[in-house]
Amino acid sequence: MFCYYCALAFRSLRRNVALTGLTIAAIGAGIGASMTTFCIFRAMDGDPIAYKADRLYVPQIENWDPRDHSPNSSRGTDGLSDALSYTDAVALMRAHAAPRQTALYATEFVVEPNDPRLLPFPISGRAGYADLFAMFDVPFAFGGPWSAADDQAHAPVAVISRALNDRLFGGADSVGRVLRLDQQNYRIVGVLRDWNPVPRYYDLQDAFGNDPDDVFVPFTRAIDKHKMTHESSNCSGTTPPPPGWSGLLQSECVWLQFWVELPTRAAAARYRTFLQNYARDQERVGRFHWSARTQLRDLRQWLSYERVVSPEVRMMVVIAFGFLLVCLINAMGLMLAKVMFRSSDIGVRRALGANRRAVFAQGLVEAAVVGVVGAGAGLLLALLGLAGLRSLLSKESLVLARMDPTDLGITIALAVVATVLAGLYPTWRATRVQPAWQLKSQ
Q: Render pLDDT for 235-251 as a digit per residue (tens, 0 to 9).
A: 765 666 677 788 888 88
204's CB contacts (< 8 A; 6+ apart) are 82, 302, 303, 306, 308
Q: Are residues 253 and 345 in the same domain?
A: no
Q: Are residues 323 and 228 in the same domain?
A: no
- The residue that leads in pLDDT, 390 or 371, is 371
How many domains is the chain partitioned into structurally?
2
Tens digits of residue pLDDT in 274-294 = 999 999 999 999 998 888 899
Q: Tell me which residue of 128, 163, 121, 168 sits closest to 145, measured CA to CA.
A: 128
Q: What is the pLDDT of residue 440?
A: 46
Q: Residue 399: is its pLDDT beyond 70?
A: no
Q: Are residues 106 and 187 in the same domain?
A: yes
Q: How far apart are CA 107 and CA 224, in angstroms?
A: 13
Q: Are residues 317 and 188 in the same domain?
A: no
Phi, psi of 162 (to 5 degrees): -60, -40
Tens digits of residue pLDDT in 192-215 = 999 988 788 888 777 666 678 999
Asked, for residue 429, whether it belongs to a domain, the answer is yes
Q: How do strand 184-192 and strand 157-160 relate by DSSP bridges?
A: parallel
- The residue that leads in pLDDT, 317 or 74, is 317
Final residue belonging to a domain, choices 261, 282, 298: 261
Q: How far apart are CA 431 and CA 61, in angstroms?
A: 67
Asked, for residue 169, whether it belongs to a domain, the answer is yes
Final residue belonging to a domain, choices 204, 239, 261: 261
Asked, for residue 287, whether it belongs to a domain, the answer is no
Q: Are residues 391 and 249 in the same domain?
A: no
Asked, for residue 138, whether it belongs to a domain, the answer is yes
Q: How far apart are CA 391 and CA 404, in angstroms?
A: 19
- What are the CA-CA distances from residue 282 to residues 120, 130, 287, 291 (Å)? 45, 27, 5, 10
Q: Residue 442: is its pLDDT beyond 60?
A: no
Query: With contact defined as beta carbons under 8 Å apart, do 211 and 144 qualify?
Result: no
Q: How far apart are CA 18 and CA 5, in angstroms?
A: 21
Query: pLDDT tier at 74 (50, 70, 90 boundaries)?
Result: low
Q: Are residues 68 and 132 in the same domain?
A: yes
Mean pLDDT score, 382-408:
65
Q: What is the pLDDT of residue 389?
A: 67
Q: Are residues 326 and 362 in the same domain?
A: yes
Q: To the nearest whole percent, how much of the chain has pLDDT over 90?
A: 34
Asked, for residue 276, whether it belongs to a domain, the answer is no
Tens digits of residue pLDDT in 126-165 = 999 999 999 999 999 999 999 999 999 999 999 999 999 9
Final residue belonging to a domain, choices 229, 246, 261: 261
Q: To the nearest whole percent, how much of the chain has pLDDT over 70?
A: 75
State which residues form the domain around 157: 63-261
Q: Residue 47: is its pLDDT beyond 70?
A: no
What are the start-end ranges of the H helices in 80-205?
A: 86-95, 131-135, 148-153, 162-169
Asked, for residue 194, whether it belongs to a domain, the answer is yes
Q: Are residues 322 and 253 in the same domain?
A: no
Q: What is the pLDDT of residue 335?
A: 77
pTM of the model: 0.71
Q: What is the pLDDT of residue 98?
A: 96
Mean pLDDT of the chain: 81
Q: Are residues 106 and 254 in the same domain?
A: yes
Q: Residue 343: is its pLDDT beyond 70?
A: no
Q: Are residues 161 and 254 in the same domain?
A: yes
Query: pLDDT tier at 350 (50, 70, 90 boundaries)?
Result: low
Q: Are residues 88 and 181 in the same domain?
A: yes
Asked, for residue 297, whether it belongs to a domain, the answer is no
Asked, for residue 324, whether it belongs to a domain, the answer is yes
Q: Are residues 35 and 90 in the same domain?
A: no
